Structure formats: structure tokens, C-alpha cells
Chain A
């Protein structure tokens, strides 16, 4: 088992169904972990591997939707596929709006389930990489001095060096020097990249 092997988490209070799904997914060569309740899932040690959650919607205690909200607030939220015993439309709409990947009904067809899982895993991979990227960006941003961060904000605001120098009370040359430093630390070549990076980091441009 490699650390990058995705893990599917099956959360369902019905033991029979839980066992069946687990078997099915293992037969499909997935790594599966199963939990009898949302509480049990939350109490278990966090899993760093990629993966997704197959979640029964109606369970006594914390309902599936509640779990969805608490998962969404973690560092590495896993995508959720809802499985339910009855097609409850309002619940399904709520679930989808809250960001579920898919909403399936029991009994579930193998192909539908596996496809949904694949989708989820893909999404998870994408999200993970983008989250990783973002983390990297943040680290790089941390290397900038306060002054450099200021200059960055003005640069992505579309201002000329002259203007920035005037706004910040320094010379154009100093600004140019900062720019070079920023570019070098962040490892980018163009202002466009800078702008995108700033956007990714959520930095507000100062116009």
C-alpha cells in the first residue's frame, strides 16, 4: 500500500449494507475503511491519503448532512457521495447544494457507484493538488518582506513604478529593485503570473 493509494471511507449504520459495499469496493481493488456512524468516523485518526466518503444520508444521531458540514470544515475535506434508502428530493437538493459529488439511491448499481467513486477520486486529486499548490504559494509569499508585500499589492493593482514610488514615498528605483526581488523569490517571470498568483492568494490589489 502506497501512501498515495486512495482510501474510500464507507459510513453506514446498516451492517449488512456496509459489509456489502465494502466487499464490492474491495473487489474493485479499492482500499476501504468502514464506519458504523459519523461519530465513529470523526473519532478515527485522520487519514492523509486521498480518497472519498460514501455516506448514508439518513442515520440516527448526526445525519449525513451534518457530517457533510463538519467534514467540509477540515483541512483536507474529502468529497462525499451520498447513498440513501429513499429518494428524498429536498434532502438531495440540499446535499448537492452543499457540495456533495453525487447522490445515489439504494440499491445501487455497481457501475453507477464505481463511476461516482472515480469521479470523486478525480476531484479529490484535483483538489488536493490545487490545495498543495496553494500551500506552496503561501510558503513563498511568507518569504516576502512586509515592504515587498506592499509593493506586490500595488503592482497587481496595475500601477506604474513611478506611481507606486510616489504612493509609498520612495524612489522608482527602489520599487524596481523590490519588483525584481519579488519575482525572484516567487519564481515567476511576468506580471500576469504575478497577478494570478496574487489572485490565488487572495491578495487585494490596491488601485
Chain B
């Protein structure tokens, strides 16, 4: 209508701006997903041929429901059970139908899920009549009797194929030695369905395997008879809702009863019958079927027309086996067909208590290791102690050798006396014999004296050798006074050379001490020599060495060697008995340390004190055997 001049948006009138605003808001809103219905709650009615308590029903129902719930729709579920096997009468069916009509008629459900075993009316005639608008999705146990024309126009679903032939084939594969199969079945309509299918399968294998159908025996008879079946026989449990006597069962429980009583393996046809003792087999999978039904239902809910979905035959499902039954009958898992599912695997002791076992083993090993370590340590300690003792003796020996220097003077003098006498006697004898007449009487005296001196010399040598010989600790009862005297006698030469007066203060009646005499004299020797040497620098008339032995309060004998030398400097006192400690210019420092070793090996004590006036006194104690104390 004329030319339109371009204008800016701000010039647009207010209404236009409002429209733009509204449009933007609309665009910001989440748009409904293409193909979905509006958000109204959908009502789903589930119909079951059998009763609520069958595990199979529970499985499919839950599987289907879970799939549907995942879709996110708000849903309401209703479930009704025909219980046809237990209530097979037509009257019951009619009442069920009327019940449904009354209950759901006013408000028909949006979808019917029908889980059927035999009553296909539930998927066909019934919904068509009661709820003509409602689509139906069914799951049927076998594909028998399903005909499109019997179903309503609004129905689709799947039929689970029970492949009995395949099941029997897999049984034979597992146990090729089988010659006979006993088929146990029931009298309910569903039972008969199972039996019929089994008969079909059996016909094709009739030549090879002998099939016995037990359909007229009540459960009690079946149970007693399966207990005594011949070998190379297995049982195929078809199904049992009702036995020949008319008792009703939950099939799963019936299967358990038979399997428990049987003396041969028992195989089953449906998933839910596995777990009560049956070995298993190529079974119908309820849960998977239920899921598939749920998927189909979801499609229908979303708008797909049921007629556009073909009826499916569901035959998938790997064989399922009960691990416990496999073990009972000694069937190795390696013989199972590939892809088999093994259920009820009992964890081995290891799997159950693995950690505990590891823990216990660990503790055990630890303990064993500790015990071993302790034993080893004890062995090592014994070894070390033995070595220590050997070392001690070695050291004592070395020190003894090094006191040879001290003993040389004594030895030389002591030996030279008899030797000198012998020589001079011999010279004299020679001269007496040269006389006219020879002084034979004198010679006779001489010979006697020579013999005596020879013995004397041997004795000296023997004593010296005893002192010098490497010598194991050989304790015995020793008279301490005699031992001290012997040592002093030995050192008398040394003492007089040093101008030292030695005084031995004896105590009479001292008990004999328990010690090694040689070692004891070693200690005494050491202390006396030290005492003598200590007084080298003091005026001769003051050189006195006092040696004494007396009682000590604790049942020991105490020996002391006291000199009047310069004493022991305070700082040296604690180190006195340590090895390699010496104040002598050419001393080795071993004497006192060895003396201590010896005294302590005798369970005595050795120590030194400075005297009040001058000099030092060395003390040591030696034990007295208990019985001697009296």
C-alpha cells in the first residue's frame, strides 16, 4: 500500500516490543521432545496368567517395570493375577473379567502389559472387549497358540521360545554317556504345555535316548523313585504346578524337592528352576524377556502403534548352571558350553576368608620367624659365650706367658740350687774317687744327695710348667693359706732382691675355697709382684708388703695384698682393672684385667683402695662352698 520507509526498532510501538519479549520467553522455555505425549500420568495395567508368588512372574514384572520407569514418564502401575493354574475353572475366569471391568472400566488404562503362560485371552479377547482403546504388549511363555488374528488389533509382544530340543542336546553334550532321561512333569495346564514340548523334542531323539515320562506319579512317589535311578540316567524336570495327586506347588520348590531326592543329576527348562539343586541347562531367561517386553511397552507408550511392531520370538539366553550342583555331580566347568552362566558359585574358602587366611598365615609366618630368630639368637649367644670363654682362657694364657719374665728369676734361682749342688757333688765325687784309698762312703752319700737334688729340680720344673700351661678352669677345694704361701715362696727371691719385707697374716681355720688353684695363684702372683714393684722408689727400710687371708661376711674368703708405695692416683683408680691400662713403662696392662676376669669367673670380686697412711691395698674375694661354711 505505498512505500514503507525503513524504521528502527525503537520506533516500533509498545505492542510489538511486548510480542518480541513474549516470543523470547517462549523460546527460552524447554520445548517438549518431539514425539512425546503431554506430561499426564500414564496408567499401566499388568495382567498375569499365574499367581503373584511365582518367581518367574516377579522377574519379568520387575524387569519390564524398570525399563519403563527409566523412560522418565510419570507412571502408575497396576497388577492383577488370574492364577489360572490353581483356579482353572471358566467361572473363575469370568469373575476375573468382570472384576477387571468393574475396576478399570471407568478409567481404562493407557497400556496393558500381559504376562501369559496359557491364557492368551488376556492379551486378546479380554482387552479387546474391556478396553478397546488400550494398546496391549504381552510376553508369552511359548509361541504356541499365538495367532495374530486371535490377538486384538492393538496388541503386540513377544513369545519366549522354549527350546527343549536344544536343552536336551546341551545335556547330552555335557554328559555324553547318558542313555536314559526321566521326564518329571505335572498335571496343571502349564505343566502339560511343558510336557508337550518335551515330548516333541523327545521324539526326534527317540532312537538314541530312552525317555520315561512320569506324569501319573504323585510327588512322594517321584521322590522315592528318583533316589534309586540307575547310572547313565538323568532327570529332566519339565515343570510342576500340580502333581498327579492334585497337590499344588510352586514349581521352583517342586524342583528342589525332586533334585534333593535324586541320585542322578537333574536338569530344568526355566531360569527360575535353577538354584534348588538342579544342575541347570539351556533355560528360558525371564528377566531378559521381561526387559524386552518393557522396551516394547515403552515404544508403544511413546506413540508407536502396536500393529507396526511385529511379534517377536525371544529365544536368547545362555545356559545357566548351578555351581553347587556341578560340584555335587562332578561336572567340570570346562565341559560347559561357551558363554554359559554359572550361578551360585560358592566362594571357596579362599575367596570367603582370603584376607583372614592371609592374615593368619602372616601372623603364623611372623611367629615362626620370631621363634626362629630367637632360637638363632640363643644359638649365637651360646656360641659367643663359648668363644668368650675361649678368649678369656687364651688371654689368661697370654698373660701367664708374659709373667714368665717375673717367674724367670724365681725359676732360675730355684733350679740353679739343685743343679749347682749336683755339679759340685759330682766334682767332689770324682776327687774322692781319685784318693788313695777312694773315699767310697763319701761317694755313696754324694750319690744319694744327687738323686735328691735331681728330684727337687724336677719338682721345680713341674710346678713352673703347671703355672705356665694353658689350663682350663678346674675348680676344686683349695686351702687358701697354703696357696698364698706357695706364691710367696716363689717370689721370696724377688722380694729380697727388692729389699721388701713380706709378711703373711694368716687366719687359722679358714674354710677351703672353691676355685682353680692355678688361676688363683696367678691372681696372687700378679698382685704381689705389683705390690713389690710399687715400692721400688721408696726407702728400703720402709718396704713392707702385707698379705692376708680372712673371712668375709658373705660366706667368702677375702685376700688382700697391701703395699706402702705411693698409692694409686685418684683418676687412675676406676681404670685400674681395664685391659691395656698400665703405669709401667714396659708393661702390657693385662695383669690386673686378667686377674679380674679370673676372680669374676669364680663369682668373686676384686678391687683396690688407697691406704689411709700410704700405699694401696688390693682385695679379692673367693667363694666358699656352702657346705663348708658350717
Contacts and interface: CB of A to CB of B under 8 A. Distances in A.
B420 A27 contact: no
A58 B493 contact: yes
Interface stretch (A105-113, A124-132, A184-192): A105-113
B496 A17 contact: no
Interface in B453-499: 453, 456, 492-493, 496-497, 499
A1 to B, nearest CB: 19
Given A16-B453, A60-B496, A85-B414, A106 B428 contact: no
B159 interface: no
A105 B416 contact: yes
Residue from B424, B446, B449, B456 whose CB has the most chain A CB atoms within 10 Å: B424
A113 B424 CA distance: 10
B71 interface: no
B432 interface: yes
A16 B423 contact: no
A28 B430 CA distance: 11
A107 B499 CA distance: 25
| Interface secondary structure of B, over-half rule | helix
Contact of A24 (B412, B416, B425, B456): B425
Interface residues of A, number: 28
A107 B423 contact: yes
Contacts, number: 94
A23 interface: yes
Contacts of A60: 492, 496
Interface string B611-628: 000000000000000000
A26 B439 CA distance: 12
A183 interface: no
A16 B496 contact: no
A86 B431 CA distance: 27
Nearest to A27: B431
Nearest to B427: A110
B interface, size bucket: 20 to 34
A200 interface: no
B246 to A, nearest CB: 134
A20 interface: yes
B378 interface: no
A20 B421 CA distance: 5
Given A20-B422, A106-B420, A108-B423, A27 B428 contact: yes
B442 interface: yes
Nearest to A110: B427
B424 A63 contact: no
Interface in B376-415: 409, 412-415
A108 B420 contact: yes
A17 B420 contact: yes
Contacts of A108: 420, 423-424
Given A23-B442, A24-B431, A17 B424 contact: yes
Contact of B452 (A16, A85, A88, A105): A16
B429 to A, nearest CB: 8
Contacts of B492: 60
A107 B414 contact: no
Interface pairs A-B: 9 shortest CB-CB: A106-B420, A85-B413, A27-B431, A107-B420, A110-B427, A20-B424, A85-B416, A107-B423, A23-B428
20 contacts: A14-B417, A16-B418, A16-B452, A16-B453, A20-B422, A20-B423, A21-B424, A23-B432, A24-B424, A24-B425, A58-B493, A63-B499, A85-B413, A85-B493, A86-B409, A86-B416, A88-B497, A91-B497, A107-B424, A108-B423
Interface of B: 409, 412-425, 427-428, 431-432, 435, 439, 442, 446, 449, 452-453, 456, 492-493, 496-497, 499
Given A16-B418, A85-B420, 12 more contacts: A16-B421, A24-B428, A27-B435, A58-B413, A58-B496, A59-B496, A60-B492, A85-B412, A85-B417, A86-B413, A106-B417, A106-B420
